Structure 1
Amino acid sequence: MTLKYQIGVDAGGTHTTAIAYDLTGKELARSEAGPGQVNTDYNSAINNITTAINQLINQIIGDCQRILCGIAGLSVIGNASEIAGEISAKSNNLPTRAITDSLLALYNGLEGEDGGLVIAGTGSVFNGLQKGSIITTGGYGSILGDEGSGYAITISAFKSALLSWDKRQKNQLIPLFNQLFKVDNLVDATAKFYKMSNPQIASMAVSVAKLADNGDKNATSIIKKQAELLARDIIIGIDRYEEPKPMKVALTGSVLANNQMLRNFLEEKVWAKYPDVQFSISNGENARGVVFDKSKDYRYFTSH
């Protein structure tokens, strides 16, 4: 009997993970490739996504039923159907669907149930699922949104350091960023900042969080503010649910998985309005969202 399987692809800002599952949800194989964020470098992202997919197709002897691609930046540039078509054309014309990486995480985090999922890594977004309808708040990219993300934390902290530097006030964020940028003063740090990618900037949030954990008031203020902004997006999303509102909220992404202080501030803010919300951490592979996707919007694509 021919092995039937499906492929889930989690294409993020730092790397792409493709995982093949049989129809019961058992993992068969996985592959990795470079960044898959389409609004940063489109051609490179598509190449990385299709490379990861084709590695699995070439490795597994069987019949691939469908490919679900969760792609960072898709909500910014749109054209999901066209992107799915291009990926399909470069992947044996298999039935393909393209969605945002946050929606893929929603399918995985809730395992097909109604509720919400917050993703906060390089960027951030809240997605809610109720009776098959999707509710989205935030997710507007690093310039217009991404509250509570690693990028937003770093930017907010760096601005705090620069303001204190101009005022010649003490602020532990100043030596922190001098160290991170490997410079002697923040003027030189700004020059380096504008040459960095969003993931590189976001990675500095870990150091800001550690400073907050050590009791620094400025770093703590940054973490609290960003947590409350992200909580605001959650509350707006829950507000938009129909009654009875689902109260399950899964959290995923490097910031939420690793920053207990931010999670505490976030949960307190949400509970102030919705005390029945049940939070959980989703640590599974988001590519597994293909197992729970109930959409019929898979079709064969061909290149033009």
Structure 2
Amino acid sequence: MTYYLGIDAGGSHCRARLVRSDGVVIGTGQGGAANARIGLDVLYDRLRDVCDQAVAQAGLGTDEVATIRAGMGIAGISRPGVRDALEGFAFPFASVAYETDAFIANLGAHGGRDGAILILGTGSIAQVRAKGRDFTIGGYGFPISDEGSGAALGLSAMRHALRALDGRTQATPLSRAVTQRFDHDTARAIAWMDAASPKDYGSFAPLVMDHAEADDAIARSIVEDAVQHIERFIETIFERGAERCALLGGLAPRMQPWLRARTVASLSPAAGDALDGALFLAGYRANGR
């Protein structure tokens, strides 16, 4: 019996799924953020932790662990030097293959076939597999990139809210809800911004969507601007040769109703998730395919 281990290591969580060669899931694991930005030592510890959880749940012995073929999708491994460092990580497995988290998400969404995904979460990025090539579109990092993402919505909400406090624009329920977090104090808002991460800005995204759906003028303008970026993302994905595209990420379900009907009609449902893609990367093929 051969065993396959898939790891999805992203900016907010790290998940593991361990299966037998017949596809039966025998172990899982879950932990915190596990991207390259947290430091290589911490990243290794997080990866080992979720691996150990899955192996312990499965009850595998040392000899069985040595047959595991692992596939790991890790956010941020395209940064200079990270892939080389990963090759030095010690795992007691038969093999370990590494790719980005977007790469395994695309593999999972289309079962390894040609296709693309647009991920709308805290950030945004498109991953494409077309005619033997794998490449990304966007995803350069906040605030330069990540158009249409939760962080971008939050940044726009902060800008509008501070202008409303100044009196440069008309205050709305959204602007008041944002500045309420800082007791409507501009200095406190600026102090927060000095240390705010993309995830912090992304925490405002549900608030923006709630108010947009309630017809708040500022919220609607923010979402409509984001939609233009998302529409252009999807157009570019098909222009670059993708046969199909799936919309993924925590923000996707709330954004999809704002897209044009013809754009929604061009999208395909995802066949699987990122852990399915990680298992595919490891070498697992359902039904022997």
TM-score class normalised by the smaller sequence: 0.7 to 0.9
2:65 corresponds to 1:69: no
- CA offset at residue 290 of structure 1? 2.5
Deviations 1:250-292 (A, max 9, x none): 11110103x1xx2134455x73xxx972332x49542121333
- CA offset at residue 40 of structure 1? 4.5
Give 2:53's match in structure 1, choosing from 52, 55, 61.
55
Report the CA distance shift for 1:29/1:40 in structure 2 as closer, same or farther (over 3 A): same
2:94 corresponds to 1:85: no
2:260 corresponds to 1:278: no
- CA offset at residue 13 of structure 1? 1.2
Q: How does 1:255-270 map to 2 (within 5 A)?
A: 255-257=251-253, 259=254, 262-268=255-261
How many residues end up aligned between the 2 structures? 278
**Equivalent-residue separation in structure 2 for 1:99 and 1:153 (angstroms):** 28
- CA offset at residue 234 of structure 1? 2.5
Report the CA distance shift for 1:100/1:177 in structure 2 as closer, same or farther (over 3 A): same
User: Quick one: which amino acid aligns to residue 29 of structure 1?
Assistant: G
> In structure 1, what is the equivalent of residue 287 of structure 2?
none
Deviations 1:140-167 (A, max 9, x none): 1113211111111111221122233333
**Equivalent-residue separation in structure 1 for 2:185 and 2:120 (angstroms):** 30
Contact 1:19-1:31 within 8 A present in 2 as well: yes
**Equivalent-residue separation in structure 1 for 2:211 and 2:176 (angstroms):** 11
> In structure 2, what is the equivalent of residue 17 of structure 1?
15
User: Quick one: which amino acid aligns to residue 69 of structure 1?
Assistant: M
> In structure 2, what is the equivalent of residue 198 of structure 1?
198
Secondary structure of 2:98's aligned partner: strand
Contact 1:16-1:33 within 8 A present in 2 as well: yes
2:152 corresponds to 1:152: yes
**Equivalent-residue separation in structure 2 for 1:166 and 1:40 (angstroms):** 37
Report the CA distance shift for 1:171/1:44 in structure 2 as closer, same or farther (over 3 A): farther
- CA offset at residue 6 of structure 1? 1.1
> In structure 2, what is the equivalent of residue 301 of structure 1?
none
User: Quick one: which amino acid aligns to residue 56 of structure 1?
Assistant: A
**Equivalent-residue separation in structure 2 for 1:170 and 1:276 (angstroms):** 37
Q: Which runs of 5+ in 2 are unaligned?
A: 285-289
Report the CA distance shift for 1:158/1:151 in structure 2 as closer, same or farther (over 3 A): same
**Equivalent-residue separation in structure 2 for 1:99 and 1:8 (angstroms):** 11
User: Quick one: which amino acid aligns to residue 82 of structure 1?
Assistant: D
2:3 corresponds to 1:5: yes
Contact 1:151-1:202 within 8 A present in 2 as well: yes
Secondary structure of 2:26's aligned partner: strand
Indicate the RMSD between aligned Cα atoms, in angstroms.
2.5
**Equivalent-residue separation in structure 2 for 1:118 and 1:65 (angstroms):** 31
Deviations 1:176-217 (A, max 9, x none): 1123x3423233122123333322321221111111111112
Give aligned-pair identity as a percent: 26
Q: Which runs of 5+ in 1 are unaligned?
A: 297-304
Deviations 1:212-248 (A, max 9, x none): 111112111111211221332232232121xxx51x2
Secondary structure of 2:28's aligned partner: strand
**Equivalent-residue separation in structure 2 for 1:217 and 1:101 (angstroms):** 36
Contact 1:84-1:96 within 8 A present in 2 as well: no
User: Quick one: which amino acid aligns to residue 186 of structure 2?
Assistant: L
- CA offset at residue 125 of structure 1? 0.5
**Length-normalised TM-score, structure 2:** 0.85
Q: How does 1:1-304 map to 2 (within 5 A)?
A: 3-60=1-58, 61=60, 62-63=64-65, 64-75=67-78, 77-79=79-81, 81-87=83-89, 89=90, 91-92=91-92, 94-172=94-172, 173-179=174-180, 181-241=181-241, 246=243, 248-257=244-253, 259=254, 262-268=255-261, 271=263, 277-280=266-269, 282=270, 284-293=272-281
User: Quick one: which amino acid aligns to residue 193 of structure 1?
Assistant: M
Contact 2:69-2:93 within 8 A present in 1 as well: no
Contact 2:4-2:19 within 8 A present in 1 as well: yes
